[in-house]
Amino acid sequence: MTQGPRESVLQRRLTLSELLDVPTFTEVVKGFVELYKIGIKVFDEKGGKLADIKIGNGDFCGYVFSFPEGRSRCTKQVGRVKDGPLAPTQGARLPLLDDSAPIKGLVTSPCFTGLRYLLLPITFEGDVLGRVVFGPFLPAEQKGFPESLTEVSAQLEIGRAQELVEKVRRAPESTVARVMVHFAQVLDTLVAQGQRTLLTSQLHIEATLVQNRELEDRAQKLSEMNVKLKELDRLKSAFLATVSHELRTPLTSIIGYSEMLAEGLAGPMSQEQNEYVRTIMDKGETLLKLISSILDISQIEAGRVRLNFEPSDIIEVVQSSVSSVKPQAQKKGITLDVQLPKEPVNAACDRDRLRQVVVNLLANAVKFTPTNGKITVILTPVSAQDDLGKKGYRISVEDSGIGIPKDQQEKIFQSFYQVDSSSTREFGGAGLGLAIVKSFVEGHGGVVKVVSAPGQGARFIAVLPEKPATPQVQIAPPVQPTPVANDRF
Ligand code: ADP
């Protein structure tokens, strides 16, 4: 639901009932009425009654009202004081003030009964917000009744009327006018106080609303940006997937043909030629691995990888992974110690993906362990795993290599992250192996951890469940690298 902009309390014309705390104000009015024994009515600019405290005149007015003509004249008089102009017109006149200066806006409205009303506008910052009606009172100088009363009915008994009118407060008009001015001052103070309170609270509300709107705008912009970033990310992943796929085909041919040349299938080659061709083959293999990793990660990021779990012999998975890195380990004189349990380890897994997990961990171990180092691979039997809260097994790959500083141990699982980017030149790789490991292990419902310290080797442990929760799972994208501080978007 959209809301139009709210009119500010600073622009809006305030009403009397907004400015006054009506219950408190009514108490003040009551106090005045009791003190001066003259009724007070307060109306807002639309004629709505804010206070109406009567005193003394009820019996007299009731008597006059009991005559049809009295009723009609009375109604007219009430209309005059309530809704008529606050000006000396339509039967009203300027008040009789003995010594004091005229009171702005104050008018006297004589009633046909001889009683009188005083009317005073309530103004605030130049606007008329309503009026105060003081009365009726009996003018001090009044003797007997005017003709306008006696005309009401031949049945009207003057003696009775006289008796009843005695209960109405008798006072000089100028005195009542002064009381009225006094009342108006009190009212002014209350209105000013009310305005301050109202403005403070309303401005506070408005400020909060403005802040909320700004926050909403920002949230909206962020979510739009997020959508754009996700789309860009998807395009990047799709692009990487296509490019790496397209690169793989010719690269496989390059490797295949150089292998044939090296084998002498196209005729004998000199020793030097043979070395060159083998270098082409080696570099081709490295490039192929890199391209395969990029393809894997981009497919994971694009959400295109599904794991299919089937009952598997985990010992076989570990053994075949170890065999695939054996040649590199041997080249560096690294000892491979493989500790497997005596009993079979049967669990459901995506065999190819799990093999890739172990191969990636082993390839890193070989890469980051100096010559003549040692790598220990341990597979545990199936047993209760605290990390998973269910039964599972652990594959641990430990090396005696360069180790990983504590503050880097979480980051190395992000894609394209390397502890030392210059290591790319020394050790090769693109920082994708562990991101793939993490995605695949978590896809199985497992966890991967690292224990290491610089110079003291590293131990990677993959804890995997015996039975993944579902037979098939679409794996979530890996953690993206955290942007560096000045990398704003
Ligand atoms: P890379 O292709 O660079 O090996 P990985 O994602 O496999 O990418 O590893 C990320 C980084 O983690 C490596 O560049 C390296 O700095 C560090 N690392 C991973 N395995 C080891 C290890 N066994 N010993 C020391 N550092 C390691």
CA 395 to chain centre: 43
**Residue nearest atom 3 in ligand 1 by C-alpha distance:** 431
Superfamily of segment(s) 305-474: Histidine kinase-like ATPase, C-terminal domain (3.30.565.10)
**Domain 210-299 class in CATH:** mainly alpha
With a CB cutoff of 8 Å and minimum separation 6, the contacts of 137 are: 38, 115, 116, 168, 169, 170, 171, 176
Closest ligand 1 atom to 360 CA: 7
Lining ligand 1 with CB less than 6 A are 360, 364-365, 368, 399, 401-404, 412, 417-419, 423, 429-435, 458
- Sequence-ordered alpha helix ranges (H) in 332-461: 351-367, 423-427, 433-443
From the CA of 207, how far away is ligand 1's center (Å)? 52
> According to CATH, where is 3.30.565.10 located in the chain?
305-474
Tokens of 65: 């009202």
From the CA of 418, how far away is ligand 1's center (Å)? 6
Query: What is the mean pLDDT, run by run of 10 residues, along the chain of 489 residues?
Result: 56 78 89 91 90 90 95 94 92 83 86 95 86 93 89 93 92 89 86 83 87 94 94 82 84 92 91 93 88 83 82 96 92 95 95 94 95 96 94 97 94 85 60 92 94 95 92 62 39
> According to CATH, where is 1.10.287 located in the chain?
210-299
pLDDT attached to residue 483: 42
pLDDT attached to residue 1: 44
Helix (H, G, I), strand (E, B) or coil at 282: helix
**Residue nearest atom 1 in ligand 1 by C-alpha distance:** 431
Location of structure tokens 């806006």: 105
From the CA of 470, how far away is ligand 1's center (Å)? 31
Interatomic CA distance for residues 213 and 9, integer angstroms:
18
